[in-house]
Amino acid sequence: MVDKMKDNLAELLTNIFATSGHSVSESDTVDLIIEKNGTKTYIKLAIEPDISEIRAFADVVEDNIGLYVSLEKMNADIWDYATHIGLITWDRDELAFQIGKAVIADIEGNTSDLELVAYDAESSQTEELPTQTLDASSSYADTEMGNSNNIEPDTSTTNKPGFNIWRTSPEMQTAEPINDLIRQEPAPTSTIMQESQTTSWQQQSQPFTLDLPTAPIKLLKDRAVAMARSEIGMPNDVVLKFVPYWRYTYAVKAEHRFKNKLIDISGQGQGCLNALNGNKEQIELQQINENITLPDDNYEIKNKMFDQQEAESTLLAEIIEEYTKDVRFSNVVREAMISEHKMFKPTKDDIQLNIDLVYIPIWEVKGSRNSMEINAYTQEILTEPVDDDVEFV
């Protein structure tokens, strides 16, 4: 069954690459080899991504271009590792998108112009950072780039042809690839500092402090990107949004008498009212700081859509509705059972409501076709957008 699936996938990719001007051939070491304009790309097909297989494939590819295709989704750690060692990756979502692009090009009669991979001639003039290996039992996220004195550049990888990540949209074409080759600058003779590769969203300025009553950031940007990447692919941008919430606490105490019966209405609660869309959320804000240190200047402070008076009116109406009681009474009158019911509800004077405006940091990770929002305080992926500006996955 597995072999049949791989055979079908190989046949499908052969047709796609052939119609886009590539010559396609089989190999004893990889599944397919494609060539266009004198540049070869080695292709490995897999049903499920496997880190040991990826490492072995990279060894076979060596200084050539390698494409690893998986029929299943690829998690962020494996994607990071494969990209780090210089492979192009296509998981289930990207494969579906590229197949769809090829089908549309065929319908429109533009298959000869279909560009599935773009080679960057200029990038081949630069040098690549030394590649690290990763044990199969660990993930790329757990590895560290070691700093040492007198590091000699690894010249074995400097001749590798440069390439851009497979194009998925005009936005992705303008995004800076995560594995672009980096030119190493001269360093002082005492110590050579290694700098990590960065994409456009990773360019950072100096941290600075923002005066804003907000919950602390407990989820770092890189971790938010890793959480979102399996759903949205390579991010184009990452923005830290500060979303206004009306934080509230309340206590209800009311007593009503009816036919010698005492009806007690009491309770308390707390929560947050989204000041952008009016949704109530059970977020436990155990810490609010008067200022916050930001990792960079790529942030937005959202303006509230309704003021404190509107928030109080909304909350009081909902509290009154929640604590309204429908009480039924039964009496026997001349051997007849008579039942009646009566509604009891608290008034605004029976409710003590405290409310203040605070902000919650939200990471918005933007992909080429959709976005994902993650609460930077609770570290939870949001299933509903915090405002109307987000196109969710």
pLDDT of residue 209: 86
pTM (global) more than 0.95: no
Residues 178 and 312 in one domain: no
Residues 20 and 102 in one domain: yes
Question: Is residue 387 domain-resident?
Answer: no
If DSSP codes are grouped into helix, strand and coil, which group holds residue 69? strand
Which of 254, 191, 241, 248 has its CA nearest to residue 359?
241
C-alpha span between 67 and 208 (Å, rounded) = 41
Report how many domains make up the chain.
2
pLDDT of residue 203: 53
Q: Range of 166's domain?
A: 2-142+156-195
Which of 45, 133, 140 has its CA nearest to residue 91?
45
Residues 300 and 213 in one domain: yes
pLDDT of residue 383: 87
Residues 28 and 7 in one domain: yes
The residue to which tokens 């070691």 are assigned: 146
Q: What is the pLDDT of residues 44-64, one digit of tens each?
A: 999 888 888 998 998 888 878
pLDDT of residue 205: 55
Write out residues in the chain with pLDDT < 70, as ranges: 110-206, 329-338, 388-393
Q: What is the pLDDT of residues 3-58, one digit of tens each?
A: 788 888 888 888 888 877 888 888 888 899 988 888 888 999 998 888 889 989 98
Question: Is residue 328 domain-resident?
Answer: yes
pLDDT of residue 276: 92
Question: Is residue 393 domain-resident?
Answer: no
If DSSP codes are grouped into helix, strand and coil, which group holds residue 236? coil
For the chain, give me the number of helices (H) and strands (E)? 7, 15
Residues 297 and 224 in one domain: yes
If DSSP codes are grouped into helix, strand and coil, which group holds residue 99? helix
Question: Is residue 201 domain-resident?
Answer: no
Which of 229, 22, 9 has its CA nearest to residue 140?
229
Residues 266 and 215 in one domain: yes
pLDDT of residue 157: 35
Side-chain-side CA neighbours of 219 within 13 Å: the count stands at 22
Question: Is residue 225 domain-resident?
Answer: yes
